[in-house]
Amino acid sequence: MRASEEAQDSKTSLLGRILERTVDRASADGKLNDLSSRYVQEQIAIHGEHFGPQLEEISNELSAAVAAFTQGRSVRISTVNTDPRPQKVQFSVSVMDHVTETKVERQGHRFQRALFVATLKLLADHGAAVGQQGVICLAIEEPELFQHPVQARVFASVLRRLAEDARQQIQVTYATHSPFFIEATHVPQVRRVSRGAGVGEVPPVSISHVTPERLIRHLDGFTDPVDVLRRMDSLCIEKLPEALFAEAVVLVEGTTEQAIIEGCAERDGTPLAIDGIVAVAVGGKGGFLLPHSILTLLGIPCYVIFDGDKGIGERKRRNATRNQDPVKVESDILAAVEKSRKDNREILRFLGVTEDDWPCTGAYAGHAVFEIDLEAELRASWPAWDNSYKGLITAGIGFPGKHGPTYRRATVDAADKAPDVFQEILAAARTLRPGA
């Protein structure tokens, strides 16, 4: 549908359907017929006044001339009186922008879409008013087109209100590539349509969706169902908006790990986005299971990268200060060691591989692990990265500590070849893509 066409007064257009339900064109028919009759009468009178004597004279002369060739017949010349039968009243739509009046088709696409949706809403309102039982099914392809990001969210909310108001009798479905149209609390209504790499001319198409019930079953034995329900919607909107549209997803603990993985891909001249892959920071080692399950149920393959945190107790003891309570410090250290050990085993068990308290560095089919942490691996096996990182800070264009943009630039600019484990990670992640 096009707004310019639907704003025309025709039997099948939206405007035409609204007018048919709201405007009584027949109420003016009597007066229009009277106007037509008076027009014909006045037309005859004007013709007689201005042309009557002349036409009568010409008629007599022509009749006399014809009489020389035939008898019993005469010729009469008269005016042709037109009968202006009243036509169906037509209506038009124009747009007023202050004092400027323009046609609908001369407006921007964003306004045309707004007018289109407003017309649909008005049609639904008038349909409900006259007790019509029909339901409008509004299907929109890429509603985000031509929309300012803020207006895209407004558009999504308008469509939601139309669909949820039972009086409107409107169903709404749209195909989108924009996270602005993935709404919190409505993730179960999302359907992800994916085209596989099948054999033959027609590739297979799959439709996936995730519901709280399916998610709870998928995480049975790993996550409290209440926690699943509490976090599901916010997680999709806050951490997975782009991942929901990806071909594959790399899940990492934090933004610095995300920056390094993306930087390694950029070094090769093939950023992850080119392959439809998105890297997502889950917010810590304990945050992998829920996003991994959501994406898996939606048919999106995931690759997990986490730190083994081996030696975490010794590192915490070295970093402890003298003014801290030694008993509490030791208690906190033991708790951190136990949590890391437990998290490691849980992640590996969830992924269906052999459990280990302190797994060694390596890249595997569905996951990768760094025995200590990613930074330690970089400093030990890629000294050029550490030099690049420190150089950025010295030059005043980088920041110390865990700063994602600095990590990413240091990764891209570092001399020498990146360690093999990073190349293996990227290769494994790219292999997850459908048809790879």
Residue 145 has pLDDT above 80, yes or no: yes
Torsion of CA 283, 286, 289, 292, to 10 degrees: 30
Residue 261's CB is within 10 A of a number of other CB atoms, namely 25
In DSSP terms, which residues pair with 208 in a beta bridge?
192
Instruction: Render the burial of 105-129: b for 16+ CB within 10 Å, e for the rest.
Output: eebeeeebbbbbbebbbebbebbbe
As a whole number, mean pLDDT of residues 40-68 equals: 85
Cα 60 from chain centre: 81
> How many Cα atoms sit within 13 Å of 175 on the Cβ side?
5
- What is the per-residue pLDDT across 305-342, written as a single tens digit (0 to 9) for each? 999 999 999 988 888 877 878 888 889 899 999 999 99
> What CA–CA distance (Å, rounded) separates 340 from 310?
8
The confidence band for 52, taking pLDDT boundaries of 50, 70 and 90, is: confident
> What CA–CA distance (Å, rounded) separates 228 from 210?
12
Confirm if 347 and 285 have CB atoms less than 8 A apart: yes
- What is the per-residue pLDDT across 226-249, written as a single tens digit (0 to 9) for each? 999 999 888 888 889 899 999 999
210 contacts: CB under 8 Å, gap ≥ 6: 187, 188, 190, 294, 297, 298
Give the sign of the dihedral formed by CA 265, CA 269, CA 273, CA 276: negative
Taking phi first (over 0 means left), then psi (-120 to 50 degrees means alpha), and beta for anything else, what does residue 192 get?
Answer: beta
Which one-letter amino acid corresponds to residue 89? V
Residue 129 has pLDDT above 70, yes or no: no
Query: 3-class secondary structure for 325-394?
Result: CHHHHHHHHHHHHHHHHHHHHHHHHHCCCCCCCCCCCEECCCEEEECCCHHHHHHHHCHHHHHHHHHHHH
- What is the per-residue pLDDT across 181-227, written as a single tens digit (0 to 9) for each? 888 788 889 999 988 766 667 778 889 999 999 999 999 999 999 99
> What CA–CA distance (Å, rounded) separates 244 from 278?
9
> What CA–CA distance (Å, rounded) separates 103 from 91?
13
The confidence band for 150, taking pLDDT boundaries of 50, 70 and 90, is: confident
What does residue 220 show for φ and ψ, rounded to 5 degrees?
Answer: -60, 125
Residue 130 has pLDDT above 60, yes or no: no
Confidence (pLDDT) at 109: 72
In DSSP terms, which residues pair with 421 in a beta bridge?
none
Residue 148: Cβ-neighbour burial (10 angstroms; 0-12, 13-18, 19+): exposed
The confidence band for 131, taking pLDDT boundaries of 50, 70 and 90, is: low
Of 42-46, 117-121, 252-256, 291-295, least confident by mean pLDDT is 117-121
Q: In what order do the strands lie in the sheet with 248-252?
A: 277-281, 248-252, 302-307, 367-370, 362-363
Residue 74's CB is within 10 A of a number of other CB atoms, namely 11
Confidence (pLDDT) at 133: 62
What is the pTM assigned to this prediction?
A: 0.75
Counting residues of the chain whose pLDDT is more than 70, the rounded percentage is 94
Average pLDDT, the chain: 86
